Amino acid sequence: MVINFAAGPAKLPEEVLKEVQKNLLDCNGSGISVMEMSHRSSSYGKIQETAINDLRELLNIPSNYRVLLMQGGGTGQFAAVALNLIGVTGTADYVITGSWSEKAAKEAAQYGKVNAVLPKAAKYISVPRQNSWKLDPKASYVYYCDNETVEGVEFDFVPEVPAGVPLVADMSSNFLSRPIDVAKFGVIFAGAQKNIGPAGTTVIIVREDLIGKHLKSTPSILNFQLMDKNSSLMNTPPTFVIYVMGLVFKWIKRNGGIAGMSKLANAKSQLIYETIDKSNGFYYCPVDSNVRSHMNVPFRIGSAAGNDALEKEFLAKAEADGMIQLKGHRSVGGIRASLYNAVTLEETQQLANLMVEFYKNNKK
pLDDT tens digits, the chain, 364 residues: what are they? 899 999 999 999 999 999 999 999 999 999 999 999 999 999 999 999 999 999 999 999 999 999 999 999 999 999 999 999 999 999 999 999 999 999 999 999 999 999 999 999 989 999 999 999 999 999 999 999 999 999 999 999 999 999 999 999 999 999 999 999 999 999 999 999 999 999 999 999 999 999 999 999 999 999 999 999 999 999 999 999 999 999 999 999 999 999 999 999 999 999 999 999 999 999 999 999 999 999 999 999 987 667 899 999 999 999 999 999 999 988 788 999 999 999 999 999 999 999 999 999 998 7
* 100 catalytic per annotation: yes
Q: Angle at the Cα of 179 (from 178 to 182), degrees rounded to 5? A: 130
Which residues 6+ apart lie within 8 Å of 165 measured at CB?
A: 93, 135, 137, 139, 140, 141, 142
CA angle 185, 190, 192 (to 5 degrees): 155
Q: What separation in angstroms does the CA of 185 have from each of 66, 67, 324, 359?
A: 12, 13, 36, 43
Model pLDDT, residue 304 = 66
Identify whether the C-beta of residue 294 lies closer than 8 Å to the C-beta of residue 339: yes
CATH topology of domain 14-255: Aspartate Aminotransferase; domain 2 (3.40.640)
* Res 125: pLDDT: 96
Contacts 24+ apart (CB under 8 A), 12-21: 12/197, 12/198, 12/244, 12/248, 12/342, 13/248, 13/251, 13/341, 13/342, 14/342, 15/251, 16/244, 16/247, 16/248, 16/251, 16/342, 19/247, 20/243, 20/244, 20/247
CB 127 within 8 A of CB 100: no
For residue 296, list its beta bridge partners: 338
Confirm if 215 and 111 have CB atoms less than 8 A apart: yes
Span(s) in the chain for CATH 3.90.1150.10: 257-362
pLDDT at 76: 97
Q: Note if 133 is an active site residue.
A: no
Q: Which of 11, 170, 228, 251 is catalytic?
A: 170
pLDDT of 256 reads 98
Which of these is catalytic: 100, 228, 268, 327?
A: 100
Superfamily for domain range 257-362: Aspartate Aminotransferase, domain 1 (3.90.1150.10)
Q: Give the Cα-Cα-Cα angle 188, 193, 194 (nearest 5 degrees).
A: 70
Where does CATH 3.40.640.10 sit in the chain?
A: 14-255
Cis peptide bond prior to 9, omega within 30° of 0:
yes
Rounded to 5°, the CA angle 201-9-49 comes to 30
